[in-house]
Amino acid sequence: MLVFAGGLIFAFGIIYLVTNKLSTEEGKAWIEEMDHFSKKHPGWSFFYTYMPFPLGLILQLVGPKQPKFPTNDE
């Protein structure tokens, strides 16, 4: 029971951090770029999202590149 509660707290903490990161100007610009990418390449966007780990990684090597989230260096 304690492990489950700790896991929930950890998961909600990660969701909170990601939500705060996406609410910045860089995050909003990245969301718009991802929307444009998913409209331009709907098949690739589906496969990148739902393929299991090794297959999705292989597809990313041969398919169109998704927009990268800006880092602190950029």
Is 3 a domain residue? no
Rg (CA), the chain: 16
Q: Print the domain residue range for 35.
A: 28-61
- The tokens describing 22, both together, are 């996406």
Is 68 a domain residue? no
pTM > 0.75: yes or no:
no
Q: What is the pLDDT of residues 42-62, one digit of tens each?
A: 988 888 888 888 887 788 888
- The tokens describing 6, both together, are 């700790």
Is 15 a domain residue? no
Kindly report the average pLDDT of the chain as a whole number: 84
Is 52 a domain residue? yes
Is 45 a domain residue? yes
How many domains are contained in the chain?
A: 1
